[in-house]
């Protein structure tokens, strides 16, 4: 499982010119489900994202999580993060999960964040989306939770 996490002041998702979701302050998470991902990777990723201490405390030090700040999370499924570029210039997406299983795990990921009392907004799975954001910092992190088979 792979995530690109950005601390944002604001983020929104548009589909066919219409805003379908937005958050004011928190995290924008682009999430890729890999073909061998299971519940174990999901739980680890939920914990990592919810617990990331990347928000400033009263002294300006990055010491607070999105849970601590009461921020929101916008989750956008993005299979292109599973791209393998080892051969040539055209990415291979063979590592990405099939859409049906990926959607289930993305939904479970969102539910896991909600269970941690977070407000969660989402993109539309499989849609052509335009994501608008104001990155705060900028703070952008790449997270990998490999499967038991050791994939990256």
Please list the pLDDT of the chain residue by residue as tens digits (152 residues). Answer: 999 999 999 999 999 999 999 999 999 999 999 999 999 999 999 999 999 999 999 999 999 999 999 999 999 999 999 999 999 899 999 999 999 999 999 999 999 999 999 999 999 999 999 999 999 999 999 999 987 654 44
Q: Provide the annotated active-site residues.
A: 78-80
Integer Cα distance of 6 and 33 in angstroms: 18
The CATH code of domain 2-138 reads 3.50.80.10
């Amino acid at each position: 499982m792979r995530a690109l996490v950005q601390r944002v002041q604001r983020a929104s998702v548009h589909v066919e010119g219409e805003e379908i979701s937005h958050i004011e302050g928190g995290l924008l998470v682009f999430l890729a489900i890999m073909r061998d991902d299971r519940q174990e990777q999901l739980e680890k990723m939920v914990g990592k994202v919810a617990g990331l201490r990347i928000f400033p405390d009263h002294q300006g030090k990055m010491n607070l999580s999105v849970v601590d700040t009461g921020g929101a999370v916008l989750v956008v499924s993005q299979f292109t993060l599973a791209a393998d570029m080892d051969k040539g210039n055209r990415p291979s997406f063979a590592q990405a999960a099939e859409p049906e299983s990926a959607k289930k795990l993305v939904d479970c990921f969102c539910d896991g964040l909600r269970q941690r009392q977070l407000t969660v907004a989402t993109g539309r799975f499989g849609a052509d989306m335009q994501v608008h954001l104001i990155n705060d910092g900028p703070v952008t992190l790449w997270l990998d939770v490999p499967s038991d088979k050791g994939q990256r």
